[in-house]
Structure 1
Amino acid sequence: MTVPPLTLSPSAARRVAQIAAKQGKPAILRLSVEGGGCSGFQYKFGLAEAAEGEDLVVETDGVRLVVDPVSHDFIAGCVVDYVESLGGAAFKVENPNAAASCGCGSSFAV
């Protein structure tokens, strides 16, 4: 069985590169899934120093997205995007595995 890949959009890659450059860190975005949020699970984003042992690593325009194996089970096939709107700017996960999500877009249920 082939595991659906993750995708880091070009706009998300650009934003990660900008944030990493400002903070003097490598352009590596770590995405993980944790219990909590209004729908059962929530996404957590942060800059990482490096990929760890069994992380899935996806690269777009020289920027890496890293995900641990447990989190990957919940977000396989996702697209991580960066969107700017009148309400603000944020990283957004388009998750085909989510059965429901909340209005804030940062938590989901499977």
Structure 2
Amino acid sequence: MSIALSPAAAARVATIAARQGKTGLKLRLSVDGGGCAGFQYKFGLDDAATDDDTEVTTDGVGLLVDSVSLPFVEGATVDYVESLGGAAFQVKNPNAASNCGCGTSFSV
């Protein structure tokens, strides 16, 4: 697989979908220029894939990545992490040469 969605992340998306009364809600990951390290991850929720999306499914929940963002996150895992500092989706990206302290920004 080109990218993976952890069971914890899939469970969180399913919880969000249930609270919103929606079925089939998918997590969308994209990479934009900017952030303190050069690139930043952006997360959103979407009802459906587009023609240029790659979709992977874990426990019935889809992760969507557009074709422009995919090379930056190839081989990565999207996880959901809860800690004393808060809870958030997190990308474990083998392509990132460095990460910002905030966890949403990276360089290649």
TM over 0.5: yes
Report the secondary structure of 2:13's partner residue: helix
Q: Separation in 1 of the partners of 2:64 and 2:94?
A: 19
5+ long unaligned stretches in structure 1:
none
- Report Cα offsets for 1:47-105 as digits up to 9, x if no partner: 00100002100000000000000000100000000000000000000000001110111
Q: Which has the higher strand share?
A: 2
Kept in 2: contact 1:21–1:27 (CA 8 A): no
Counterpart pick for 1:43 among 41, 49, 52: 41
Matched, 1:88 2:86: yes
| 1:23 CA drift (Å) | 1.7
Report the secondary structure of 1:44's partner residue: strand
**Counterpart for residue 63 of structure 1:** 61
Structure 1 outlier segments of 4+, above 4 Å: none
5+ long unaligned stretches in structure 2:
none
TM (norm. structure 1) is 0.94
Question: Identity rate of aligned residues, in percent?
Answer: 66
Counterpart pick for 1:16 among 10, 13, 19: 13
Give the aligned CA root-mean-square deviation in angstroms: 0.9
TM (norm. structure 2) is 0.95
Alignment of structure 1 residues 68-83 onto 2, 5 Å: 68-83=66-81
Aligned length: 107
Q: Separation in 2 of the partners of 1:19 and 1:37?
A: 26
**Counterpart for residue 25 of structure 2:** 27
